[in-house]
Homo-oligomer: A and B are copies of this chain.
Amino acid sequence: MHPGDHRVCFVGDSFVQGTGDASGLGWTGRVAAAARAAGYDLTAYNLGVRRDTSADIAARWQAECDARFRSECTPYIVFSFGANEMTALDETLRVPVPGSVENFLKIVGEAQPRCHVLFVGPPPVGDAAQDVRIATLCTTYQLLAGELGVPYLPLAQTLAGDPAWARAVAAGDGTHPDGDGYALVADRVMNWPAWWFNTVTR
């Protein structure tokens, strides 16, 4: 048993919410269950909202996390967003890159001094043009996270070339994977040295 009352807010979009996973667990539910099985007293709050961009998240993350962190617990936030801003909207994007960068710095920069923070990069969504934009945004986010000292797990490029991910998205709704796809992401998080709740023997 590991000591402490650990409360994690997972803040992001549909990929945090677990959309497409019949079990409803998503990757966040899987990593939380694995941490509990390894002896951590962990409460997971899933604050993923379908269609959310960095602009939507900037407007809500603080109030929602504040309502969930009690003084007697150790607070953690995992952010994960970026795919939805790269959706084409008429002649532009839902959130063009400069605004997305600004939102990232505002959100992650304000969270980082307050609690433990990680960032899980956006996954590909199965649309070739959008996936190129997501991969580029992912690289930009990774640089920004490095400047802030926040560990960053890139997914966009590595998942895009993984046939198991492609199968999972095909078995899901064409954009979101099924449970097998979320299990792939959960494995990457649990094998990430920055992840707080070590459940994998290395």
- Residues in chain A within 8 A of chain B (CB atoms): 7, 17, 19, 22-25, 29, 32-33, 36-37, 43-46, 49-52, 56, 59-60, 63-64, 67-68, 70
Please report whether the interface of chain A is mostly helix, strand, loop or mixed according to DSSP.
mixed
Minimal Cβ-Cβ distance residue in B for A23:
B33
Q: Are B32 and A24 in contact (CB under 8 A)?
A: yes
- Min distance, Cβ A107 to any Cβ of chain B, angstroms: 15
Residue from B22, B43, B49 within 8 A of A17 (CB atoms): B43
If A22-B33, A23-B33, A36-B22 touch, whether A60 touches B67 (CB-CB below 8 Å) is yes
A52: which B residues are within 8 A, CB to CB?
A: 67
Query: What copy number does this chain have within its complex?
Result: 2
Residue from B7, B17, B29, B56 within 8 A of A67 (CB atoms): B56
Known contacts A22-B33, A24-B25, A60-B63, then 5 further A-B pairs from the complex at CB < 8 Å, ordered by chain A residue? A22-B37, A24-B32, A24-B44, A49-B67, A56-B67
15 residue pairs A–B, Cβ–Cβ below 8 Å? A7-B50, A17-B43, A17-B45, A22-B33, A22-B36, A22-B37, A24-B32, A24-B36, A45-B49, A46-B46, A51-B70, A52-B67, A59-B67, A60-B63, A64-B64
